Amino acid sequence: MFLIFRADLTAHVELQEHETRHARARRLTDGAPISLGDGLGRRVRGQLTSLRTAQFDLTTVETQFEPSRILYSAVPEPSRMEWLLQKGTELGMTAFVPVRFVRSENRSVRDDRARRIIEEAAVQSRRFVLPKMHPAMDLEEACKVSKNPIVLLPEAEKLLATEGSTEEISFFVGPEGGFSPDEISLLSKFSQRRLSRTILRVETAAICALSRCLL
């Protein structure tokens, strides 16, 4: 099923250039089935009327619940960051928040590139929810806005076990140099869990945590 996302569900849609290229690459023709999602859990079905336009039936709206899975994370180098966004989207990530840590390089994230990777991964995996990409923030601010946070620490006593949970969960993924003493103090009020007794790369820890939340 060919899938596109728009902020609102509407009966008539003009395809964007990259969507037209994708449809052409898949050799889709007039009348081919297509779905339109709002990225918030709703979707409608329709058909291509040309390689540039599509028509949708708004009388039947499909919905699907996806629990909130937010990553508050250090940013790895660009190629690994792209892999994180792609696989995170496939595994149910609902939002990514870059966090500035003392021991991280605090790399910037190209917003347009990140959103394109997320959207392509959501289309490929047929997600109803399109993950959001947030601006970078300091750790102190992240601690204030996060809900039901879990700090991933290799030295934590308890293993992460969240399989089947439908609650909102926020994961704090630190830099590969580890949290600073002040950051440990700031995060001490939150639940702490380990994924392994080894030190994982940022993207490995993030993907491992999300994979343990699958419903």
CA distances from 156 to 29, 164, 199, 202 (A): 54, 22, 12, 17
The confidence score (pLDDT) of residue 164 equals: 66
CA distances from 214 to 38, 132, 178, 186 (A): 22, 19, 26, 29
Q: Domain 2-63 carries which CATH code?
A: 2.40.240.20
Per-residue tokens: 23: 């449809």
69-211: in CATH 3.40.1280.10:
yes
The 10 Å Cβ neighbour count of residue 51 is 16
Per-residue tokens: 148: 């039901």
- Tell me the per-residue pLDDT of 194-211, one tens digit each, with 9 for 90 and over: 999 889 999 999 999 999
Do 75 and 57 touch, CB atoms closer than 8 A?
no
Domain boundaries, the chain: 2-63, 69-211
- Tell me the per-residue pLDDT of 156-208, one tens digit each, with 9 for 90 and over: 999 998 766 788 999 999 998 899 999 999 999 999 999 998 899 999 999 99
pTM, 2 dp = 0.91
Mark the ranges of the chain whose per-residue pLDDT is less than 50: none
CA distances from 38 to 5, 16, 32, 128 (A): 6, 15, 20, 8
- φ, ψ dihedrals at 100, nearest 5°: -90, 120
The 10 Å Cβ neighbour count of residue 138 is 11
The confidence score (pLDDT) of residue 58 equals: 97
In the block, residue with structure tokens 């620490």: 153
In a 3-state reduction of DSSP, which class is residue 119?
Answer: helix
Question: How are beta strands 69-73 and 95-100 bridged, if at all?
Answer: parallel
The confidence score (pLDDT) of residue 133 equals: 96
What sign does the CA torsion over 201, 206, 208, 209 have? positive
Per-residue tokens: 166: 């439908």
Per-residue tokens: 122: 């959501």
The 10 Å Cβ neighbour count of residue 175 is 21
Distance separating alpha carbons of residues 186 and 189, to the nearest angstrom: 7
Do 106 and 75 touch, CB atoms closer than 8 A?
yes
The confidence score (pLDDT) of residue 32 equals: 95
